[in-house]
Structure 1
Amino acid sequence: MVNFEKLYYKIALQVIKRCHGAIKITKHGKILEVYDPKRHIWSKGLAGLIIKEECKNANLREWEFASVRTYIIKELLSKSDS
């Protein structure tokens, strides 16, 4: 049995790495914008698409996407506090 928390965390780190860490969030943990390195623009709707794509690549189900999103927010908030 796979430890799902580790899997979600690993995928969250992949999403952050893919965006080069350029994800704007609020202090309350809402994702505002993501930098798209292919188009060199900040996009508001792209965060969900990137998370969805990385989760599908890892064969996760749709109801698991929210868990990955939570780990992304936790990781970014912990980096901003440091």
Structure 2
Amino acid sequence: MLANRRGVAFGLVRQNNTVECVITIAALETHFWLELGASVSRILKTFRDGYGRIRAIAERKLLAHPAAHLELAPDDFAHP
């Protein structure tokens, strides 16, 4: 689901609770080859295509910093 054109919202179940997550449009553009000004359908397709990696990063970030809400930005996908 698109979150106010800011990013794509999704949920992850952790310890019987759902954590609300958002990956920003900027992260999709920077690390998943989403073109600038893409349509909603293109944004959602890019999200679906990259979901495995997106979920892995979200789960890793939640392990390090448990939270009820998580936002994934471009820096979360940068390699050290």
Structure 1 and Structure 2 fold alike (TM over 0.5): no
Query: Which one has a larger percent helix, Structure 1 or Structure 2?
Result: 1
Query: Which one has a larger percent strand, Structure 1 or Structure 2?
Result: 2
Q: Give TM-score scaled by structure 2 length.
A: 0.31
